[in-house]
Amino acid sequence: MVFQVPILWINLIISLKEIIMSVNLTYHGHSALSIKTNGTNVLVDPFIKDNPLTSVDLYSLQADYILVSHGHEDHVGDTIAIAKNTGATIITNLEIANWFSAQGITNVHPQHIGGGYTHEFGYVKLTHAHHGSSLPDGSYGGNPCGFLIKALDTTLYLACDTGLFGDMKLIGDEGVDLAVLPIGDNFTMGPKDALRAVKMIKPTLAIPAHYNTWPLIEQNAMKWKQAVEKETTTKVYVLQSGQSINYKNNQDDSIDNLFIET
């Protein structure tokens, strides 16, 4: 007897496989991100409780790893509370890792600028970032950083808080699929410099971040999207807080086949 699998089940299995083999990114406003890849949950700069752009309950966030780019309060955010709640490993520079250890966090993985390590979910390298890094209590936080992440044949560049710098071209030479760039100005790159960054990095997709949290960094993200897509081949997705995308690098030249908005 031949058992026939209903077509609905087959489609469901295919859909689940595509989700598992994709990189899912959720934007929580400001610079806070959730990334799910290889079945692993990664939080980035989880500024949640005092973030006016999100209403998510920080204790509902799943985290196996937390990436912290620098020591400022709006990026360290709720890292300690989430790490204690989930047991997540914090990946950050050596100075901030030592600071977290002094706060009673046992699972820390220190790295430093230019250094990479293969974690459970993928390879993470700390990149340059031009910014400050003092910690909430005034302690020295070492050098700020961005993150270059390679997972599931996908390369992500999270610039985090930074001004424009020429070595972004070298980061672009890594073949960046998805770049998250600040556009808020005043504390980081503004729209014009972020556009110049796109021209150096040449990502397939760019997502704006670090804007509209407070009046001082108000920007028109749709206007930036229009400028980027007019002057480059990069596609821009403007995500509202709580929105997600799935990225699946299937080596297809068609942008419509690379991204699924949810």
Which pLDDT value is given to residue 5?
46
Q: Check whether 11 has a pLDDT greater than 80.
A: no
pLDDT category of residue 188 using cuts at 50, 70 and 90: very high
Give the global pTM. 0.89
Helix (H, G, I), strand (E, B) or coil at 25: strand
Which structural domains are found in the chain, ordered by start? 24-261 (3.60.15.10)
Bigger pLDDT: 12 vs 190 = 190
Average pLDDT over residues 93-113: 97
Grouping H, G, I as helix, E, B as strand and the rest as coil, residue 156 is: strand
Rg (CA), the chain: 18
Length of the chain: 262
Closest C-alpha to 139, from 84, 101, 106, 90? 101
Q: CB within 8 A of 228, min separation 6: which ones?
A: 195, 198, 206, 234, 236
Nearest to 127 by CA among 74, 193, 201, 183: 201
Q: What is the residue whose two structure tokens read 């942008």? A: 255
- Please compute the mean of the pLDDT values over residues 88-105 and round it to a whole number: 98
Q: What letters, b where the CB count within 10 A reaches 16 and e where it falls short, cover 5-41?
A: eeeeeeeeeeeeeeeebbbbbbbbbbbbbbbbbeebb
DSSP state at residue 63? -
Q: How far is CA 166 from CA 76, 145, 228, in A?
A: 27, 15, 18
Residue 198, token pair as written in the block: 């796109």
